Structure 1
């Protein structure tokens, strides 16, 4: 990058910081927000306060940066809203993507750290878990909302409460009265907050950790949202053309309720019964690695089956008013070389939705993994050493802002309609 280009980037960063930090009440908050953001974008190692301060030269006031990120009483929601408005205009998102990521920790002092499963490590380990919501389109995505998951061990009302962790709540600044909220409910809360900012994105995408929970899917439907969510093979359903019938009445007692004549099957069984001949080849995007196609990059494609089904389960049965279960799409990936389908999704998109659209929306979830990887590698998403609830939310918000700035720079340099993934 030439000196002129570098100066342009610095000018862009100043303008960007002035816009997203405009809600700050005080000038010193705006100043240190801009400095912290620049520290996250400066290469050279870890992005915790002390090493960043050492790299920032005359702006490297460690004490001021530490106070700004851990103690200063600014509301991260105001910055996130500004960030969401800006990224919506740049990305033109087609979906909200929801997932969670782990923040590995050595000790037990940080807010909400406990032994729990995280896909970051692929096992149960000592970590914090953060749930995030991203605006996503085909060419770019951006994290715009976050929640820190409070485990049972930190909830004084839980039978699994750890007295040492409960005692640390006040020191970590965990809001008084805050109790455990499941991750899927945190996701719905973020959807509500994001929509309160004026963002209207009609589709939600999530993996099986959320899609397996019927209450999460019903929550999206109650909000008028379409969804494409991953599910496990244990989800059961009735065929799409199945109809409930009323058993014969004996003439005594209460009349029997209408019910389906057959026992619900697992989604895996339903796809296998449909047969591999129902699977069709679908390409959903071009990858980033070299390939042999006309475009010179590897094509992302596989074989997929789509069936109309009626998901079963106690929660769904309680939610419907009549005997008939609501119909939706079951999408299954069944690669040509596999003996069985390998991945499953449910979607309430309309019945006339093309298979290619179902696949493209299901596979759009890769963008959140891309965001996590970029935020952890460059701006240091998991580098924060502070131990407070407020500090964690401040840090992830500013890392999201740093990542968004990089995304905007990428989009600005790319030819129109061909921004790189």
Structure 2
């Protein structure tokens, strides 16, 4: 069930004004070939030719309209008031299913450029009123203020070079799920039950590997404000490898009893354990394939075998051992980051490389997803929101495949 603790929004998710340059449309000539190819794959599930045409127009509008990607701005590229009404019905009032479109997008990307991992990333959509589906009052810790916002979790297929959102789950607070009037007005399916934001992310990932038949790949996630034990349990039940960024005060027990000062397996915070493991640090250098000399990340890593506290695990077993990865930089704070993983067969340098995919996604969110209006839907319906973010994800993929995502060198420097 939803609790007050889950209304906090992660610091990197505090919305900032989108720069004017980021609202400029993409160049039509660069996108045309990619758009035609992807459109032929995406819309095969739409039963009618007019729906397929509207889907293509909407994606074109997300790529080509100036300013905010509202239905009015998008329809201005294709006609007047009649075009606006038609597109509004296509997004908010039609019956086409967005799930096959997302599945087609994810499978197409998997063929073109397989992902290294799936990054679960929250998205916050500030709202002025309280009518948009799922909007609620949330506290922004870094700003010290409360504001209206929708929250969603996106699953991003990520590699060193680029990333694209392929699935979404809109978080619905109990204030919406327990209000029959709100549910009816927003057409929220009766099957939807309360879940935390982090549970929504795991569920969206499971859709990909269970229902869409895509390969199981590691889940990378910022879990510093999540219920780590619950997230680990859900992912392990699904057989999903994981790499979770955790808070310094997460309590763990060292499995290696020979480690000094760990008190024979006594619980300590993740930060304390990694301070003890400081002598185990090893330097790592990440060089990105095909990159220039400056696309290099250097740092320090150390790993400790750990176990979650037994009281935090619903079904205590002997197989709960995990690896705590500490990350820092020469001459910098140690540890700067803490990650929990069950991927024990990878060298720390490879684990570190996976953690950097979070920066890849953050960067692509700003450079591409924001630019195609991923947060711009202003309608009130549950289905309308999902159709908009589905087509915005397709527009993101087209821009990315056309070379608009930026170089790996930019990602390395951002790391």
TM-score range, shorter chain: 0.7 to 0.9
Pick from 226, 243, 258 the counterpart of residue 228 of structure 1: 243
Relative to structure 1, the CA distance from residue 212 to residue 371 in structure 2 (aligned partners, 3 Å threshold; closer, same or farther) is farther
For residues 171 and 308 of structure 1, the distance between their equivalents in structure 2, rounded to whole angstroms, comes to 50
Q: Quick check: 1:282 aligned with 2:314? A: no
Moved more, 98-107 or 356-365: 356-365
Quote how far apart the aligned CAs of 1:176 are: 2.9
Quote how far apart the aligned CAs of 1:97 are: 1.0
Partner of 2:297: 300
The 5 A counterparts of 1:9-408 are: 9-57=31-79, 61-117=83-139, 124-156=146-178, 167-176=181-190, 178-195=192-209, 196-209=211-224, 212-242=227-257, 263-275=266-278, 277-285=279-287, 295-297=292-294, 299-316=296-313, 318-321=314-317, 324=318, 326-350=320-344, 352-408=345-401
For residues 148 and 82 of structure 2, the distance between their equivalents in structure 1, rounded to whole angstroms, comes to 31
Q: Is the 8 A contact 1:113 1:128 kept in 2?
A: yes
Structure having the higher Rg:
1
User: Cα deviation per residue 1:360-390 (whole Å; 9 max; x = unaligned)?
Assistant: 1122222221232134431111111111111
Relative to structure 1, the CA distance from residue 104 to residue 25 in structure 2 (aligned partners, 3 Å threshold; closer, same or farther) is same
Quote how far apart the aligned CAs of 1:202 are: 2.7
Unpaired segments of 5 or more residues in structure 1?
157-164, 244-259, 288-293
Q: Is the 8 A contact 1:118 1:129 kept in 2?
A: no
Unpaired segments of 5 or more residues in structure 2?
1-26
Aligned pair count reads 380
Give me the CA root mean square deviation.
3.1
Moved more, 330-339 or 126-135: 330-339
Relative to structure 1, the CA distance from residue 272 to residue 389 in structure 2 (aligned partners, 3 Å threshold; closer, same or farther) is same
Moved more, 330-339 or 24-33: 330-339
Partner of 2:16: none
Quote how far apart the aligned CAs of 1:9 are: 3.7
For residues 79 and 59 of structure 1, the distance between their equivalents in structure 2, rounded to whole angstroms, comes to 27
TM-score, normalised relative to structure 2: 0.83
| SS at structure 1 position matched to 2:152 | strand
